[in-house]
Amino acid sequence: MLSRSAVSSCLALLLTVLPTAALSVMGGGDVAFAPKGVGKVVFKHEYHVTVKGNTCANCHDKTFQMRGEASLYKMDMAILTKGQFCGICHNGIRAFDVKDEKNCKRCHKE
């Protein structure tokens, strides 16, 4: 059992840390996917939310959960190309197309 004072100092710490964290991280922050045999993909909330004016509800929770485990998603290019997950927008109409060879490196780094 934690002592009462330990609990309240934890609470005090949380209350000071949380507002700062909320300001510095937009939505879920950067989420990295590490598929095998190809460069990793970093999804940036800051870009998708502020620059493109998407609301959280455009993606959560219909398409993506907020559980914080990118590995929950079984994504591969066959699925993305069929217009699911990232492919809902990255279809050459709303955003650059996952099928176009010129775009692979815009998502897959090094």
Give the footprint of ligand HEC on this chain (CB under 6 A). Answer: 27-28, 31, 33, 35, 37-38, 41, 43-45, 47-49, 52, 54, 56, 58-60, 64-70, 72-73, 75-78, 80, 85-86, 88-90, 94-96, 98-99, 101, 103-104, 106-108
| Phi and psi based region of residue 13 (left: phi greater than 0; alpha: psi -120 to 50; beta: remaining) | alpha
Q: Which 3 state secondary structure label does DSSP give 29?
A: coil
Across-strand partners of 41?
33, 108
To ligand HEC, the closest distance from the beta carbon of 31 in angstroms equals 4
To ligand HEC, the closest distance from the beta carbon of 8 in angstroms equals 27
Nearer to ligand HEC, 21 or 104 (CB): 104
DSSP state, 92? T
